[in-house]
Chains A and B, each alone.
Chain A
Amino acid sequence: MREVAIVGAGMTRFGEIWESSLRDLFVEAAAGALNSAGADHVDSIFVGNMSGGQFVGQEHLGPLMADHLGMAGVAAARVESACASGGMALNMGFMAVASGCSDAVLVAGVEKMTDGADVTNVLASAADQETEVYHGITFPGLYAMIARAHMEKHGTTEEDLAWVAVKNHKHGSLNPKAQFRGEVTVEQVLRSSMVAEPLRLLHCSPVSDGAAAVLLCPLDQAEKYTDKPVKVIGTGVATDSIALADRKDPAFLGSVEKSAERAYKMAGVTPKDIQVAEVHDCFAIAEICCLEASGLIEKGKGAKAAASGVTSLGGRIPVNTSGGLKSKGHPVGATGVAQAIEVFEQLRGESGERQVEDARIGLTQNMGGSGASSVVHIYQGV
């Protein structure tokens, strides 16, 4: 297996970007990635996207995006694993390069959510239609059930959940690409309107448009593109039951644990080696559960991590320095790739006010559904 490096990155700002269509967003991010590396051709393109079909009626994104990038003819396909589509596309791109099948691979993630689709219903299609959605559950509702189970088991409080949002908004206030750059207080979070008890509006990531793209190549060819490549040293994918009711412990995300274990094993590192991480905080409780399941924080101790400063910039393990899904925004298919870009920039020392000092090894964790799929990548600066 060949060593794989990220050598270029590009992304749009995240937010309600009414002037840009699904393809516009893709082209901006993809061209940005290619230009940043001075690349004029790729061997294949993987497009992470949850639901172009339901959001804007557009499927068949592989050829569409290749064509609009001026690269019709190249191998291209869409990769889907709900909100983990971007991370899954990165895993596919990694395998294409590592296996020797492709030398230059463009991995992109894109989602256009604000063109008028019924977003709650589209997102719910990542849950079990027959046993969950039929009865009226929503995605915030599923994570609310995870939150209540975590409260029962570990004594987690609504204030603990609020601190995750406070921390991530603080980080996001330093990110020019973030959808929401305003800071929030615990009091504001706890006063925001209820969405699904115990989750309030400010515990939830927003509806967003956006795209992100990275260029991968074998490490031994990286110097063609950049003098600061970042190695992808581990990748892990895992699944769990799609229905929450089928999980013995609804407060624990088994797919996150398994995907992280696989990535750590491939990378030859342990959670203690990770210096910066982006995890899937689609709802505040998700960050807590993902930190525990990935081993970055001890099981049952995730709730206090944000309030205590452990996961803040300057803390032991800064988490979601980009602002996370909560503040940066969550264009679902783009999220996994945007997480990779944040760590890529951190390990190159390019994160400006958000820079984690001397960061050498970083991790991203991207999740689909209520935890039915999870993708973890581990990166090392060169």
Chain B
Amino acid sequence: MPSPRYWRERANRFRLEAARCKGCDRVTYPARTICPSCRGTDLETLNLSRKGKVVTSTVVHVGPSEFTMEAPYAMAVVETPEGGRLMVQVVDCEPSDVQPGLEVSLEFRLIRREGHSGILCYGHKGVPVG
């Protein structure tokens, strides 16, 4: 991932910045300028809570080249209390324990590296609560 691209996405990567449509209340993550539900353009930014519930999940056994060393790893679509949904890895647990309904906290973690000598790319991963 080229550095400017990573830098550009820091609001959603670091702060979980999302947008709420004032017209229909739809929350989109990352933030957008046009609501995908009602096409409204009056949106306010908000930061998603660092917690949520697994909507659906999988355990990736055959990963992309950059993630091969981590396989098998769990991935999930997580919905936060605000209604925003995001795709994250779920870690610090048995991957097979990550099932729909699981409560997770969203923690700031290293996601990937930009090659052997490039920048480290951060973001959020889920960790089961309790």
Contact = CB atoms under 8 A, between A and B. Distances in A.
A195 B100 contact: no
Contact of A138 (B55, B57, B64, B123): B64
Contact of B58 (A121, A130, A145): A145
A148 B58 contact: yes
B45 to A, nearest CB: 17
Interface string A97-135: 000000000000000000000101100100000111111
Contacts of A244: 77, 87
B62 A145 contact: no
Name, among B62, B63, B70, the residue most crowded by chain A CB atoms within 10 Å (CB to CB): B62
Name, among A145, A193, A194, A195, the residue most crowded by chain B CB atoms within 10 Å (CB to CB): A145
A193 B71 CA distance: 14
B111 interface: yes
B61 interface: yes
Contacts of A146: 56
Given A134-B123, A145-B75, A148-B100, A195 B62 contact: yes
B75 A195 contact: no
Given A130-B30, A131-B86, A245-B86, A250 B56 contact: yes
A149 B77 CA distance: 10
A362 to B, nearest CB: 33
Interface in B84-113: 85-89, 96, 99-100, 111-112
B129 to A, nearest CB: 20
B56 A145 contact: yes
Given A135-B111, A149-B100, A144 B85 contact: no
A136 B88 CA distance: 8
Contact of A137 (B1, B87, B99, B123): B87
Interface residues of B, number: 37
Interface residues of A, number: 35
Contacts, number: 104
Which secondary structure characterizes the binding site on chain B? strand
Nearest to B124: A135
B112 A148 contact: no
A141 interface: yes
A251 B72 CA distance: 23
B65 interface: yes
A246 interface: yes
A130 B75 contact: no
A140 interface: yes
Contacts of B65: 118, 120-121
Contact of A250 (B36, B70, B77): B77
Contacts of B42: none
Given A136-B67, A149-B100, A197-B96, A245 B77 contact: yes
26 contacts: A120-B65, A131-B29, A132-B87, A134-B1, A134-B121, A134-B123, A135-B89, A135-B123, A136-B63, A136-B64, A137-B87, A140-B60, A144-B58, A145-B77, A149-B55, A149-B56, A152-B100, A194-B61, A195-B61, A196-B59, A196-B62, A197-B58, A198-B58, A244-B77, A245-B29, A245-B87
